[in-house]
C-alpha cells in the first residue's frame, strides 16, 4: 500500500467535500473543483477526514492510490489558499504589461505576444519583468506557467528569456572562451 495514500486528508473549516460513486467535488471559499475517481479505489469521508483506500492490489491500483490522495489534497489546498507560480523576464527590452486581464509580452519578436488567461486563472504583473500566475487548480496553474515560459525559454549562452523565479540557468561558455582555453 502507498505511504502517501495511507495518510488521511484533513478537511478544514469552510470546505465541503461531496463524494459520489465516480467523482469527488470539493468546494471552498475560492471556488469548486471536481476529480474523477476510478472504481478500483474507494474514497470515504469520516468525521473531518477523507480516507483513500484501494479495492485490489494490482500494480495499476497501487500506482493510482497515492496519486488520487495527492490530487484530493491539492484540491482542498486550492479552494482554501490557492496556487501561484512566478515567472521572471530577463533580457534587455523584455517586458510585460497587463491589459485588462491579458498579458502582453515584448520578447524581442517582431510583434508583441498576447496571452489570454483561461477560466480559473488570473495574472498579476509586478514591475515590468515579473509575472504571477494564480489559480485554484494546481495542474492548470503549472500548465499555463510552463506555456508562458515556452514562448521564450532561457538562452543557455546569455541567460535571456522567461524563467521561473529562483531558477538557476547554467550558462555555457561562448565560442571565444573555447578558443582561448584551447590556445593556452
Going from the C-alpha of 98 to that of each of 111, 115, 147, the distances in angstroms are: 16, 10, 17
Strand 95-99 vs strand 102-106: parallel, antiparallel, or unpaired? antiparallel
Predicted confidence at residue 11, as pLDDT, reads 93
For the chain, 184 residues long, give each residue's pLDDT as a single digit of tens.
678 888 999 999 999 999 998 999 999 999 999 999 998 899 999 989 999 999 888 888 888 999 999 999 999 999 999 999 999 999 999 999 999 999 999 999 999 999 999 999 999 999 989 999 999 999 999 999 999 999 999 999 998 999 999 999 999 988 876 666 666 6
Specify the pLDDT at position 1. 61
CB 7 within 8 A of CB 13: no
Instruction: Note whether 14 and 21 are within 8 A (CB).
Output: no
Fold type of domain 3-80: Outer Surface Protein A; domain 3 (3.90.930)
pLDDT at position 163 is 95
Give ranges for CATH 3.90.930.12 in the chain: 3-80, 83-164
pLDDT at residue 179 in the model: 67
CB burial of 120-145 (b: ≥16 within 10 Å; e: otherwise) equals bbebebeeeeebbbbbbbbebbebbb
pLDDT for the residue numbered 25 = 95
| Predicted pLDDT at 174 | 82
CATH topology of domain 83-164: Outer Surface Protein A; domain 3 (3.90.930)
Amino acid at each position: 500500500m502507498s505511504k502517501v495514500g495511507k495518510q488521511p486528508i484533513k478537511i478544514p473549516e469552510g470546505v465541503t467535500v461531496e463524494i459520489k460513486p465516480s467523482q469527488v467535488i470539493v468546494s471552498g471559499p475560492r471556488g469548486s473543483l471536481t476529480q474523477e475517481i476510478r472504481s478500483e479505489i474507494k474514497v470515504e469521508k469520516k468525521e473531518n477526514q477523507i480516507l483513500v483506500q484501494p479495492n485490489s492490489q494490482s500494480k495499476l491500483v497501487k500506482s493510482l492510490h497515492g496519486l488520487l490522495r495527492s490530487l484530493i489534497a491539492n484540491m482542498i489546498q486550492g479552494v482554501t489558499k490557492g496556487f501561484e507560480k512566478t515567472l521572471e523576464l530577463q533580457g534587455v527590452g523584455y517586458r510585460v504589461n497587463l491589459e485588462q486581464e491579458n498579458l502582453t509580452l515584448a520578447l524581442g519578436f517582431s510583434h508583441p505576444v498576447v496571452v489570454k488567461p483561461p477560466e480559473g486563472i488570473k495574472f498579476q504583473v509586478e514591475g515590468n519583468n515579473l509575472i504571477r500566475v494564480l489559480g485554484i487548480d494546481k495542474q492548470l496553474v503549472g500548465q499555463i506557467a510552463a506555456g508562458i515560459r515556452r514562448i521564450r525559454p532561457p538562452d543557455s549562452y546569455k541567460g535571456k528569456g522567461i524563467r521561473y523565479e529562483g531558477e538557476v540557468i547554467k550558462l555555457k561558455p561562448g565560442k571565444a572562451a573555447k578558443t582561448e582555453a584551447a590556445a593556452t
